[in-house]
Amino acid sequence: MKRFALKGQICYSSDLGEIKVMEQGYLLCKDGVSAGVCQELPESWREVEVRDYGNRIIIPGFTDLHMHAPQYSFRGMEMNLELLEWLNTQTFPEEARYADLDYAERAYTIFAEDMKRGATTRACIFATLHLPATKLLMEKLERTGLKTMVGKVNMDRNSPDILREQDANRSAEDTVIWLEENGDCYQNVKPILSPRFIPSCTDELMTRLKQIQAEYHLPVQSHLSENRSEINWVQELCPESEFYGDAYDRFGLFGGEDCPTIMAHCVHSAAAEQNRMKERGVWIAHCPESNMNLSSGIAPVRDFLNKGIRVGLGSDIAGGSSASIFQAMTDAIQVSKLRWRLVDERLKPLTFEEAFYLATKGGGSFFGKVGSFEPGYELDAVVLDDTELKCPNSLTVIQRLERICYLSDERQVVAKYVAGKEVFSLN
């Protein structure tokens, strides 16, 4: 039974609208799990190691609910395109390069090192369709100490020969091989079923993936209602579907108790689709920077929250250029203000407190009890040093936290813990 405590300016969410602050508080960790936050060490904890971070701020680690590791290599480039053109001219050719394991080695080394250094402690990640490169990515992520879910991508139609599986059968067989070889061998990395999106997957493939999902009890990640052309295309490809999300649901790959599912984007999800997501308990990965870069639009996050749909944040590397969930938070707030002003004044903008919740507890819930310091939560913690952000005033802890989210990046992260294990510490 391993116990220790972190001391500092502790901030975390319990509810959507509030950030709890304990100044000079103790965050108790027992076997990787929070035993709560308190102002004084309890009697029975007097002997444990206390790591005193002084005036630094300690927050739960962030969850990135949606990113594409192979796209990290071209983040921040060629951003003058919309989704479908961008996929064809930038993304697919780049992902095809991961057939070359030497290239994958170079690229995923950079990705894993940067992931280790940032404020993210959990992430759901698309790899490519290639088995060796996906295995390599999993090995590299395993060593970072972050807890991640990684998906070998399935795609057997509507992409160029260089990045398409031969047929449904081959895609399904490869998936089984991948799961047999990688499903259970990592402590930190778990597999997640990753049909790219409806346009990339034949009905036969979706049927086979459902069988695999059920047999291996896998979670699922995919894309939904990101772009109008994409939505129209899905309607052509699946004329019998009521809406885009229904095209997943018809194959049993759209949430439900035995099939935890993340759908990225949901920019254009109308009421029926939202209601289905609520019914099925689907998590939405809100990716505001990507939705700007690819001119997709602004997801109605307030609507999702009002309906009680599960929402977290995603960087969507490389639709998004930045892997920083700090930036995803402020982007989410900013675009919600624009949506309020320009689209629908009934849907109030997100507050800072709400964005913080989405970045931590909202997305973290896909991993179980993750994203808060309430007792029983796995202890993912990030220690932030904002002394470089000079200020002539004395600030409250909440002011400092808000400022950090607007102005910070990995420079301010001086220590990181995942499930109670120190991933790194600069001191």
Residues that bind a copy of itself (CB under 8 A): 73-80, 103, 106-107, 110, 113-114, 289, 292-298, 321-322, 330, 333-335, 337-343, 349, 351-352, 390-393, 395, 399, 402-407, 409, 411
- Closest separation in Å from C-beta 334 to a copy of itself: 4
Assess contact for 55 and 8: CB atoms under 8 A: yes
Q: How far is the CB of 309 from a copy of itself (least distance, A)?
A: 22
CB 19 within 8 A of CB 401: yes
Which residue number, 189 or 292, has a Cβ lying nearer to a copy of itself? 292
- Closer by beta carbon to a copy of itself, 18 or else 49: 18
Phi-psi region of 19 (alpha: psi -120 to 50; beta: other; left: phi over 0): beta
CB of 94 to a copy of itself, least distance (A): 8
Which whole-number Å values give the CA distances from 165 to 160, 183, 194, 360, in the listed order? 10, 21, 14, 36
Q: Which residue lies nearer to a copy of itself by CB, 134 or 171?
A: 134
Q: Which is nearer to a copy of itself, 222 or 321 (CB)?
A: 321
Q: How far is the CB of 197 from a copy of itself (least distance, A)?
A: 20
Measured from the CB atom, the residue of 30 and 400 that comes closer to a copy of itself is 400
- For residue 282, the 8-state DSSP code is P
Q: Rounded to whole angstroms, how far apart are CA atoms 171 and 217?
A: 18
User: C-beta of 251: minimal distance to a copy of itself in Å?
Assistant: 30
Give phi and psi for 286, each to the nearest 5.
Answer: -85, 125
Measured from the CB atom, the residue of 82 and 203 that comes closer to a copy of itself is: 82
The residues near 116 (Cβ < 8 Å, ≥ 6 apart) are 144, 145, 146, 416, 423, 424
Q: 193: which 2 tokens?
A: 């079923």
Q: Minimal distance in Å, beta carbon 64 to a copy of itself?
A: 16
Q: Are 312 and 303 in contact (CB under 8 A)?
A: no
